[in-house]
Amino acid sequence: MVKVGIVGWRGMVGSVLMERMRSENDFQGIDPVFFTTSQAGQKGPDIGKEIPVLQDGFDVEILKGMEVIVSCQGSDYTKKVHPQLREGGWNGVWIDAASALRMSEKSIIVLDPVNREVIDKGFDAGIRDFIGGNCTVSLMLMALGGLFEAGQVEWLSTMTYQAASGAGAKNMKELVSQMGAINEAAQPILDGPVAAVDTAVAGAMRGDAFPTDNFGAPLAGSLIPWIDSPMENGQTREEWKGVSETNKILENETPIPIDGICVRIGTMRCHSQAITLKLKDDLEIAEVERLLASANDWVKVVPNTKEATLKDLTPTAVTGTLTVPVGRIRKMNLGPGVISLFTVGDQLLWGAAEPVRRMLNIAVEKLSA
């Protein structure tokens, strides 16, 4: 059985990965060794079979004994350990959820329902670094894969509504604390005039006691139109990833123009995106829906009605599931071939853990052949 080292398994992304691997019985087909950066020697997770105690995630010699390493530990870990392994001659398969290696010439960004051919070709050519894409990019491609595959995307603009989970576990908790602080300010006067409730809520959100250590600003009852670090051209890094990662995943020789504004909103783990897309041909909406629906097993076209939208096209409907609904599909009055779409996806599943889990299975299959 293929020896697989797993690092970062108890973090937020890692926990979702573990849950998916358990429910898909993935551990039965591999020989797993669990690593840690802080708990070496302690007992590993319960995966339904005997495993060694936790190994030191910085011990390069033990890591070199793995045929595959899966990391959900983050970019700092990758930047420290990956070069030591490669410079030390390790030629195993490195599969990573972090962004550090995504744009490297020696890596492939993995999203197999969309770019399985690129993965297979790369593996056969000797590439051994396979990196999960940015959550917003992966979710957009899962939703719109059918239009890209049909060569119909001339350009697109995506305005995002991104969940707290993308900023980390502490931020998810801070969002809930902020909701609690708002409720605390408003609850005693909720039966009174709404103007007083509004004043109390705004006062609490602007007050020094409002918990903002992690986000740096109120998110509950508000939003933050900035994600990640600034780029020189005025984009944020999250916005830059949209165009660079998408075109790398699709191996486009001529890049498709993609741009927009990335916004953090007060959802827990589902990202949403409002997309304006220019089709190459002025297709009928029924044809657009047919192309979208036929792309993969998880995308779900939602009819452009209020009833269907409220039922299926919200973070509440999608959270914790692999379904990627896409709706609000219509021709815009901006010219021929310009359409609107709205999509929602779980940022921890298709946005992080699932492409990594599926790449592990692809690697195991190839190494066992």
Q: Is 167 in the site for ligand PHD (CB under 6 A)?
A: yes
> Which residues are catalytic, by number?
135, 271
User: Which listed option, ligand NDP, ligand PHD, none, makes contact with residue 14 (CB within 5 to 8 Å by class)?
Assistant: ligand NDP
Residue pair 74/49 in contact by the 8 Å Cβ criterion? no
What residue spans of the chain are helical by DSSP H?
12-23, 60-64, 75-87, 112-124, 135-149, 169-186, 194-206, 237-249, 285-293, 306-312, 315-318, 354-368
Site size toward ligand PHD, by CB under 6 A: 10
Q: Is 242 in the site for ligand NDP (CB under 6 A)?
A: no
Q: Is 73 in the site for ligand NDP (CB under 6 A)?
A: yes
Residue pair 55/40 in contact by the 8 Å Cβ criterion? yes
Helix (H, G, I), strand (E, B) or coil at 67: coil
The CA distance from 108 to 93, in Å, is 12
Name the nearest CA neighbour of 353 among 55, 87, 71. Answer: 71
Q: Is 37 in the site for ligand NDP (CB under 6 A)?
A: yes
Task: Tell me which of 73, 138, 152, 162 binds ligand PHD, using CB under 6 A.
Answer: 162
The CA distance from 360 to 336, in Å, is 43
Helix (H, G, I), strand (E, B) or coil at 225: coil
Residue 135 or 279 with smaller CB distance to ligand NDP: 135
By CB under 6 A, the residues from 184 to 243 that bind ligand PHD are 227-228, 238, 241
Interface region with ligand NDP, contact rule CB under 6 A, candidates 22-30, 66-74, 239-247, 283-291: 66-74
Beta-strand pair 258-259/324-331 = unpaired
Shortest distance, position 320 Cβ to ligand PHD, whole Å: 17
Q: Is 214 in the site for ligand NDP (CB under 6 A)?
A: no
Q: Is 169 in the site for ligand NDP (CB under 6 A)?
A: yes
Interface region with ligand PHD, contact rule CB under 6 A, candidates 160-168, 180-188, 211-219, 250-258: 160-168
Q: Is 134 in the site for ligand NDP (CB under 6 A)?
A: yes
Strand partners, 339: 277, 331
Give phi and psi for 7, each to the nearest 5.
-120, 140
Shortest distance, position 163 Cβ to ligand PHD, whole Å: 7
Annotated binding site: 10-13, 73, 102, 162, 165-166, 264, 347
Which residues contribute to the annotated binding site for substrate?
162, 264
